Copies of this chain bind each other. A is one copy, B any other.
């Protein structure tokens, strides 16, 4: 079993642990997150759970922890298992480089450290929701980026992720028969052409995604899906819009590629 232990949310321990575990394909681990371990009692409870797992399973527990309080770290380190803690590994070295002592207070990397950053993420999320799917706002003047693509090519989740993770203002506009028949982009998009970024996807995958939505008509037919994607790509090329094929990419990867390709600056950082 794998434990993620933190005096805060556990997001850092989870993210780090996952990156490392994906290097060992095919092994399937039961995973438990124990967040907000911020008292000695809670730390001792966590130790009991880890030790029970050590008894119940042949593989020793693997413990990813991000604990800043030295006392809590000492308690957890007594649990039976392999302990990997980036604070243990890196904090002293980083402090030496910076010529500063770590605060040893729960760092709240994912906390309300900064109300301004919180508000930026919330406002960006509201912006994404209001400007979703060519929605009512069309407040493209303040958008950092406007994603264009056919229905179900990944625009909405990518915009939400850009907003929540990075505070980036991302709108999206769906390409439909209107654009395909005229071969033109609407004036409202052409006014912000430099902000446009296209998403495309392989036809088979799009068909599958559309069918998941229990849509069995023309919308998810092989012919329609191929037609839309071909026409969308023509529009991207005609207008010199950069685009990415999302078929093989997760939301995080699409978002990273957009930021990398457009040079849009993150307004906040995770």
Contacts and interface: CB of A to CB of B under 8 A. Distances in A.
Contact of A20 (B90, B121, B255, B269): B90
Contacts of A93: 82, 84
Interface string A42-53: 000000000000
Contacts of A249: 111-112
B256 A157 contact: no
- Specify how many copies of this chain sit in the oligomer: 2
Contact of A87 (B14, B20, B121): B20
Interface string A77-116: 0000010101101110111011010111001111111000
B118 A250 contact: yes
Interface string A229-270: 000000000000000000011111101110110000010011
A182 interface: no
Contact of A23 (B102, B161, B257): B102
13 contacts: A9-B252, A19-B66, A20-B90, A23-B107, A33-B259, A35-B259, A35-B260, A36-B257, A62-B94, A89-B89, A112-B248, A119-B212, A129-B129
Interface of A: 8-12, 14-16, 18-25, 27, 31, 33, 35-36, 59-60, 62, 66, 68, 82, 84, 86-87, 89-91, 93-95, 97-98, 100, 102-104, 107-113, 118-119, 121-123, 125, 129, 154, 156-157, 160-161, 164, 209, 212, 248-253, 255-257, 259-260, 266, 269-270
